[in-house]
């Protein structure tokens, strides 16, 4: 998960997909493909198979991705991947809006970088190719070869529709120099600890706060962690009702709001709130913040002395997984599907996923990578990078409902009211649950 979480799925996406996919078939009736070799696929024309890959990586992340795609093309003369940046891959971002239009027109890309919470929406409408047959026939990309925590949010109704691509968990970051100066000897384990430490770390000059003790990214991905950490749930087991307004679910949000009232917490607003939060942290305007594992490369570029730790808990450690999966479109031609799978296998293979992780901070997605001596040595050199991998033991799965992205919109609206407008937590979350249940009932 990276930077664009506040832009969530527009209302009615599932309806738009249903209209655009009339005649395409249901998820269960999608064409069953095989992972046959593409070695001879280009021999009919003598030209490499052209694979169109839509992605949402820009800046430093986009540069790393481009270099890796170039390397694939150099080493695979029978396939040429055209990586095209289409804007943010988030639910309300340009990439998914363009994908909706492409699906409606029938002219789809072959691969798309799809935000993990969008998998149920697109899969339920038949837009995505089931990847189970590919995985079953692969020598090193079977389900058992992936880090199991990252397989969460890759499937829908028992079928796999995505391969972990740029995947992350929330991570708690803190300024080590500020901690030492304040006499704090260890990372906070609970939100009560964060509140206590934030008071020691907050600095004021001439009545103005120059350093806030804590500055969270105020986005719904972190709300998931807060709810589970308190022992609450986002939806009921049958996925028919939202349940994030119980006392257990509200506890974390109340802890954040109280810190703001105490003057030790601030939040950024607007479309660049995530970037601004990172900037505040790297420039010493915030001593602690909660962000993504995918922030780590950017923080390291600043040269600051920082440490990473588990996201604090209310009662128990709990984190969502985030980021995006690589998905193949059901309407893509068969040869392009096979070539697309070959690229996905290459990108997520041991050497490439290690390179991707070290350059960006995202997770290495294969067990072989995490267990390799190369990665073990890297973790010893840079222990911050091991934190998100260890944190996967506490990963939970967001509700696998096509309606859930609409629910996150109401959660985000509620968080903005609570943390920006100082609205009452109980009343605001109950109103968000009421709106969510109305949306769920229409799916």
* Domains of the chain: residue spans and CATH: 13-168+322-389 (3.40.190.10), 170-320+403-441 (3.40.190.10)
29-44 core/surface letters (b: 16 or more CB in 10 A; e: else): ebeebebeebeebbee
Flag whether pLDDT at 323 surpasses 60. Answer: yes
Q: Is 248 exposed, middle or buried (0-12, 13-18, 19+ CB in 10 A)?
A: middle
| Lowest mean pLDDT, pick from 26-40, 108-122, 234-248 | 26-40
- DSSP output for 164-227: EEEEE-EEEEEEHHHHHHTT--S---BHHHHHHHHHHH-EEETTEEEEBSB----SHHHHHHHH
d(CA 389, CA 169): 9
pLDDT at residue 63 in the model: 94
Q: Is 393 exposed, middle or buried (0-12, 13-18, 19+ CB in 10 A)?
A: exposed
pLDDT of 7 higher than 50? no
Q: What is the CA radius of gyration of the chain?
A: 22
pTM, two decimals, is: 0.84
> Distance (Å, rounded) from C-alpha 13 to C-alpha 96?
10
Cβ atoms of 392 and 169 within 8 Å: the answer is: yes
Give the C-alpha separation, 177 to 171, whole Å.
Answer: 19
**Beta strands 306-309; 170-175: pairing state:** antiparallel
| Rounded-to-integer distance, Cα 114 and Cα 251, Å | 31
Cα 32 to Cα 137: distance, rounded to the nearest angstrom: 13
360 pLDDT band, cuts 50/70/90, is confident
Neighbouring residues of 22: CB distance < 8 A, sequence distance ≥ 6: none
Residues 100-111 pLDDT 10s: 999 999 999 999
Question: Residue 260: is its pLDDT beyond 80?
Answer: yes
- CA pair distance 303, 289, nearest whole angstrom: 17
pLDDT at position 44 is: 61
Pick from 428, 1, 441: nearest CA to 224: 1
What is the rounded distance in angstroms from the CA atom of residue 372 to the CA atom of residue 378?
10
Query: CB–CB of 398/234 below 8 Å?
Result: yes
Report the distance separating Cα 293 and Cα 2, nearest Å: 8
Residue 139, CA distances (Å) to 143, 147, 327, 345 in order: 11, 16, 19, 10
Beta-sheet strand order (sheet of 322-328):
79-85, 49-55, 111-115, 322-328, 163-168
- pLDDT tens readout for residues 52-107: 999 999 988 899 999 999 999 999 999 999 999 999 887 667 999 999 999 999 99
């Amino acid at each position: 998960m990276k930077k664009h979480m506040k832009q969530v799925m527009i209302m009615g996406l599932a309806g738009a997909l249903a209209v655009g996919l009339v005649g395409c078939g249901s998820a269960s009736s999608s064409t069953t493909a095989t992972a046959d070799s593409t070695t001879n696929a280009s021999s009919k024309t003598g030209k490499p198979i052209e694979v169109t890959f839509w992605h949402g990586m820009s800046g430093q992340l986009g540069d790393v991705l481009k270099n890796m795609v170039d390397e694939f093309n150099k080493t695979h003369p029978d396939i040429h991947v055209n990586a095209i940046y289409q804007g943010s891959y988030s639910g309300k971002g340009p990439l998914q809006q363009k994908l909706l239009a492409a699906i409606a027109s029938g002219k789809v890309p072959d691969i798309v970088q799809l935000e993990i919470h969008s998998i149920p929406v697109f899969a339920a409408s038949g837009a995505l190719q089931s990847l189970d047959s590919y995985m079953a026939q692969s020598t090193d990309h079977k389900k058992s070869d992936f880090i199991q925590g990252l397989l969460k949010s890759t499937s829908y109704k028992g079928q796999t529709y995505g391969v972990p691509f740029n995947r992350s968990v929330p991570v708690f970051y803190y300024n080590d120099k500020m901690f030492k100066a304040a006499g704090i000897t260890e990372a906070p384990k609970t939100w009560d600890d964060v509140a206590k430490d934030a008071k020691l770390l907050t600095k004021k000059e001439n009545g103005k706060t120059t350093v806030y003790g804590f500055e969270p990214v105020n986005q719904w991905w972190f709300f998931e962690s807060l709810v589970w950490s308190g022992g609450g749930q986002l939806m009921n087991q049958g996925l028919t009702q939202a349940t994030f307004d119980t006392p257990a679910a509200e506890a974390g949000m109340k802890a954040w709001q109280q810190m703001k009232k105490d003057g030790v917490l601030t939040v950024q607003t607007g479309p660049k709130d995530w970037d601004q939060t990172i900037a505040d942290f790297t420039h010493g305007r915030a001593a602690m913040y909660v962000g993504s594992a995918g922030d780590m490369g950017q923080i390291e570029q600043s040269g600051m002395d920082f440490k990473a730790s588990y996201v604090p808990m209310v009662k128990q450690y709990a984190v969502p997984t985030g980021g995006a999966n690589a998905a193949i479109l059901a309407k893509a031609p068969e040869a392009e599907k096979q070539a697309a799978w070959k690229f996905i296998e290459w990108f997520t293979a041991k050497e490439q996923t290690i390179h991707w992780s070290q350059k960006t901070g995202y997770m290495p997605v294969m067990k072989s990578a995490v267990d390799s001596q190369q990665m073990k040595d890297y973790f010893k050199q840079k222990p911050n990078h091991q934190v998100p991998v260890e944190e996967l033991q506490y990963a939970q799965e967001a509700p696998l409902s096509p309606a859930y992205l609409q629910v996150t919109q109401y959660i985000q609206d509620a968080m903005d009211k609570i943390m920006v407008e100082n609205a009452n937590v109980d009343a605001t979350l109950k109103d968000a649950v009421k709106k969510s249940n109305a949306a769920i009932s229409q799916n």
